[in-house]
Amino acid sequence: MTTPTTTGAAQRYLGAVDSELSDLPLDARTDLVEDLALHLAALDQEGDDRPYELRLGTPVAYATELRLAAGLPPRVRAQVAEAPPRFLKVRQDWRRLTSSPAGREVLTFLPLLVPAWWVLRAMLLVAALSLFMFTGVIGLLSLVLVVPAIVGSVALGRRRLAPTSRRVLRVAEVVVTVWTLLVLPGVFSGNDYIYVNDGAPAAASEAFPLLSTAGPVTDIFPYDSAGVPLEGVLLFDQDGRPLRVGEQEWWADDCRRTTLPPRAADGVPVPFAYPQNYVLDGETTLYGGAVEPGQCQQLSRPQVPLPVFAAATPVPTPNPSASPLPEAGPSPSPAVVGPS
């Protein structure tokens, strides 16, 4: 699909409308989105800087009106089945369980375990404190604290508490138990440090639309079955939407770079052709200092293990690390041709 406009606002509006049309056949959807892209480009040339939402309506409203006028069916949205609230079912199951003979036996036995729980909760509390202070479970502090903690916990258990205090105690027990059980496996697995939050985004966002388990994806390096590095590759998801990646904000050499999209046959920039081309941006580093001579390194593909596929003819030995990425200048343009 030819993309006649590449402004961020236009791309966002197009993407949102495209998403609303995602249930349509690909040819209809492609035609409608291409028409809209041309329309946005024409609007941009008017010099009117009002947002598209103001001029055309929200993407949802635009897509709805478009479907209606084009005689296309309304958007099919997933129907949520009416089901009784889950908590009611859980409560029924619990009552059934506790009223059975085996359930009654267990309920009779549980009070005998209460003193053991008083001891265990004291140990959990000490473990939680130790973990919180990153001193390890079996540390001097733990040994010093555990005995008075058990004594205090048992004494507390033997007292008749007011309802409010009892509720506070129950909440504290749950918090301490959950915290300890969540972090404890990490300690025993031999990790030197416990990472609670590494700052990586948990969900895709406009800035980082593609995530892997390792974090945000900022570029893609394709290879063919013979291990030959490919360039100018366009990737689309299961609904035909182009795969977009986030912008690389940090470089090992501290040099500032911007992406340089290749151009289609009609001269229109094609964003997100992989791997992306980068151009060094200015003479200052990412942190505002002057770039030293020789500081900025040429980018290269990451070294990756590649499988060897069965081939009828000999294939060239892949050597990914020897395939430098173009830092600037012309790059192979993908054959991007819009539908007629």
Partner 1 sequence: MDTSQLLKGVLDMAVLTVVRDADAYGYDVVRRLRTAGLEEVGDASVYGTMRRLYQAGALTSYVVPSDEGPHRKYYAINDRGRSLLEDSAKTWTSFADTVESLLAGNVAA
Question: On the CB side of 9, how many CA atoms lie within 13 Å of its CA?
Answer: 13
Our finding on whether 12 is near partner 1 (CB under 8 A) is no
Which residues 285-314 are close enough to bind partner 1 by CB under 8 A?
A: none
Q: Which of 154, 184, 268, 286 binds partner 1 (CB under 8 A)?
A: 268
Binders of partner 1 among 54-113, rule CB under 8 A? Answer: 55-57, 61-63, 65-72
Task: Answer whether the bond into residue 275 is a cis peptide, omega within 30°.
Answer: yes
Only one of the segments 42-50, 123-131, 163-171, 231-239 lies at the binding site for partner 1 (rule: CB under 8 A); that segment is 42-50
Query: What pairing do the DSSP bridges indicate for beta strands 211-212 and 215-216?
Result: antiparallel
Among residues 2, 218, 285, 333, the one that binds partner 1 under rule CB under 8 A: 2
Which CB, 13 or 272, lies closer to partner 1? 13
**Residue 61 or 151: which CB sits closer to partner 1?**
61
Nearest distance in Å: CB 306, partner 1:
39
- Assess 31 for contact with partner 1 (CB under 8 A): yes
Cα–Cα nearest to 37, from 71, 74, 9: 9
Q: Tell which one of 45, 108, 212, 298 touches partner 1 (CB under 8 A).
A: 45
316 and 227 Cβ atoms separated by less than 8 Å:
yes
C-beta closer to partner 1: residue 97 or 337: 337
Pick from 40, 5, 34: nearest CA to 339: 34
DSSP state string for 50-109: S-HHHHH--HHHHHHHHHHHHTPPPP--PPPPP---HHHHHHHHHHHHHHSHHHHHHHHH
Q: Any contact of residue 32 with partner 1 (CB under 8 A)?
A: yes
Binding of residue 39 to partner 1 (CB under 8 A): yes
CB of 218 to partner 1, least distance (A): 28
Q: Sign of the C-alpha dihedral, residues 83, 85, 88, 94?
A: positive
**Structure tokens that stand for 203 in this block:** 């969900």
Q: Does 25 bind partner 1 (CB under 8 A)?
A: no
Task: Tokens for 199, please give them.
Answer: 């700052």
Which residues make up the interface to partner 1 (CB under 8 A)?
Answer: 2, 4-5, 28, 31-32, 34-39, 41-43, 45, 55-57, 61-63, 65-72, 266, 268, 338, 340
